[in-house]
Amino acid sequence: MATGAAHSWLTSTKSAKSSSSTIMFGGSRSNSRESIHFMCHHHHHRPKFQGCCLSMNGCQTQRMKQHPTHTTAVNNVGTIETRSLPSVASPAMAMDSLNSAISHLVSHPPFTPSGIIRLQVPIEEQIEAMDWLHSQSDLLLPRCFFSGRPTHPYHANANNLVSVAGLGSAIFFRQLHPFSYNDWISIKRFLSETCPFIRAYGAIRFNAKGQVSSEWLPFGSFYFVIPQVEFDELEGTSMLAATIAWDNALSWPWENAINALQATLRKVVLARSTRVVPTADIDPLSWLACLQVEGANAYQFLLQPPNAPAFIGNTPEQLFHRKFLHITSEALAGTRARGASAALDRQIELDLLSSPKDDIEFTIVRETIRSKLESTPDNNLSVEQAVCENVLVKPTKAIRKLPRIQHLFAQLTGRLQSEEDEFEILSSLHPSPAVCGFPTEEAQLLIAETEVFDRGMYAGPVGWFGGGESEFAVGIRSALVEKDVGALIYAGTGIVEGSNSYLEWDELELKTSQIKVSKWVRPYDRYHIEVVFWTKALIMNKLLSLLVAQSSRSNDTACD
């Protein structure tokens, strides 16, 4: 173990930043190892949220025996259907159309014992999904939000989603065991290429084998939801949708599903054009809205199950995007601030491109992702065939610029052998060296042994599954936000040979500057913020364990 080196690194960091940080060594969990004490509030009480009716859990209660070659086929539910209603001029008219269509469904129920039906109404004006979600009661849970990247040219069309906001659950998928192939099958049962907007949004824990802390327990090891009521912000238009899912085998018949949907719709209100921040609480939606300044190169997300805090984030890192058999992934590493002028910005860019330390970190990340895309599945070793073919890296090393920071960047593309390999790709790419370390197995073990807090969904996959398309980002630059309690902000930095403690701390400050409360959130909302940082090991063949904790009041800092 390299705890002596870690202590030395932390000591130098503390000396460098003593005016703004608190680093405390508390009682260790073993006699041979020091540990970090994190200055954060305990969750003594969490109010019980009342809102949307809980629907069925689409995962099997007991884990099914998994075939070693993953040959289990997706046995879709009896009905998968999208019904598009005529376009209307306003959200109010869209709600009327949905209620009429649901009344027709009540009098003309389907005959299949299981299924999912989405009713959608196009709205002729573009309304921000964030505004619609912000106008709803924060007691309506679960809720979710996802804003992805602009559409890639190879699958452009007139109905591209910009952002999605969802309330309630037509069906949810949650278990405490690690996300498995059979859990993936359970989700895919309700999805079809013919219904591209029926999607399951959610996230997976960074380490599903670790003990789940109390604040992350409602999320389980993974949590996905197909919303009951969904507002889609499209390019130039909008859409309001309602989804009903039922399955007699899961003790959730049609009657239960339709009653739950109608109950949720009665609580939904129309969008408003202004955002109102509560006077005493941190508002996760207002906080998330300010993160949208990061623009087209970042993902914004929110996931909040019932009786849980909200997991929000603004991540620049894509895990993968799949459109049928075409797949893309990214390598992202190295961080610098943007320059105040074009000349200074270019100088900083050149410094990042020429940095030996950042090149080591970036190369490890890029080549590990390439290797995982080209690897043969562990469960199919008898077949000498990679999950992906024709893997290309272009560009091999470039700069990705965000409004406040810039990173080294490479894009990897390939072609899947089969759409069934989607689960293999997800399982293989997570965790990447950028959020875990390398070699992966040793890094995961060291993190589990050393870190004294639960990462939860931080640095795990966050995104959505669809019928013919799926997209996941890496849940970094994120926070767990709970009213009346506060927030935990998560960020990390890669440590390799040649790392400088002063610069690494500055990188942590830089990364969290974009998620700390901004001018959108008023000063009285900044009272409870707790900031938790950590660094990770990223040294080939020699791992170094580093943990850094900072406790700060966010009313002292704000994003621009």
β-pair type (478-482, 229-234): unpaired
DSSP state letter for 96? H
Question: Of 479, 462, 455, which is closest to residue 559 (Cα–Cα)?
Answer: 479
Q: Mind listing the pLDDT tens digit for each residue in 529-556?
A: 333 333 333 322 223 323 333 323 233 2
pTM exceeds 0.75:
yes
Q: Which residue has the tokens 């870690």?
A: 6
Distance CA 142, CA 118 (A): 18
pLDDT confidence of residue 342: 95
Beta-bridge partner residues of 238: 123, 233
The answer as to whether 95 is a domain residue is yes
CA separation for the pair 490, 349 (Å, rounded): 25
Classify residue 324 as left (phi > 0), alpha (psi -120 to 50) or beta: left
Asked whether 470 and 188 are in contact (CB, 8 A), the reply is: no
- CA contacts within 13 A on the Cβ side of 273: 1
Q: What is the H or E stretch that residue 265 is in?
A: helix 254-265
Instruction: Kindly state the percentage of the chain with pLDDT values over 70.
Output: 68
Cα–Cα distance between 326 and 419 in angstroms, integer?
9
Is 407 strand, coil or helix? strand
> Across 94-142, where does the E strand assignment appear?
114-123
Q: Where are the alpha helices (DSSP H) in 463-540?
A: 501-513
29 lies in a domain?
Answer: yes
Please compute, for residue 226, the number of CA atoms within 13 A of its CA located in the half-sphere on the CB side.
Answer: 34
Distance CA 220, CA 52 (A): 19
Q: How many domains does the chain fold into?
A: 1
Q: With a cut of 70, list the residues of the chain below it in pLDDT.
A: 1-54, 60-72, 150-159, 269-281, 293-296, 376-385, 450-452, 484-485, 491-560
Structure token digits, residue 197 = 């907007």
* CA gap 138, 41 in Å, rounded: 22
Per-residue tokens: 3: 């705890």
Kindly state whether residue 333 falls inside one of the protein's structural domains.
no
Here the CATH number for the domain that contains residue 41 is 3.60.120.10
Residue at 405 is within a domain? no
Token couple for 220: 């389980």
Domain that holds residue 495: 1-323+417-560
CB atoms near residue 243 (< 10 Å):
27
**What is the pLDDT, as a whole number, of residue 337?**
87
Q: How far is CA 218 from CA 309, 310, 454, in A?
A: 9, 11, 14
The rounded radius of gyration (Å) of the Cα atoms in the chain is 23
Do residues 538 and 444 lie in contact, with contact meaning Cβ atoms separated by under 8 Å? no
DSSP 420: G
Q: Look at the chain and count its residues.
A: 560
In a domain, 505, yes or no: yes
**Is residue 343 a part of any domain in this protein?**
no
Write the DSSP assignment of 245-305 as a string of letters: EEEGGGTB-HHHHHHHHHHHHTT-----S-----SSS--HHHHHHHHGGGGGGSEEEEEE-
| Structure tokens given for 42 | 């305990």
**33 lies in some domain:** yes
- pLDDT (0 to 100) of residue 160: 81
Q: Classify residue 501: in a domain, yes or no.
A: yes
Cα dihedral across residues 478, 482, 487, 488: positive or negative: negative
